[in-house]
Amino acid sequence: MIKKAGQRQRKALEAMFQTARDTESRLDRFAIDIMCSAMAGAMRSVLEAGASPAMVRKLREHLVLLCQSYMAAGTGRRP
């Protein structure tokens, strides 16, 4: 079940990047896998630390920053 969820997530991200208009290049599958792994690691860390509501709020903020920064760097998009 986890493997299928991960595959759906990656397919959704790939489709999103294919339709993005504000990028100079596309993220390849490896870059998408790395981004997913970074998110999974951060989520696991917060869950293992107890995942208080405050931690979950901070996690959301930081995951957005992490992913936006990585996508901008990987696609040549300028903030």
Torsion of CA 29, 33, 34, 37, to 10 degrees: 170
Mind giving me the DSSP string for 11-63?
A: HHHHHHHHH-SS-SSPPPHHHHHHHHHHHHHHHHHHHHTT--HHHHHHHHHHH
pLDDT tens digit sequence for 41-74: 999 999 999 999 999 999 999 999 998 898 888 7
Give the pLDDT confidence score for residue 45 in this predicted structure.
Answer: 93
Residue 28: left if φ>0, alpha if ψ -120 to 50, beta else—which one? beta
The pTM of the whole model exceeds 0.75: no
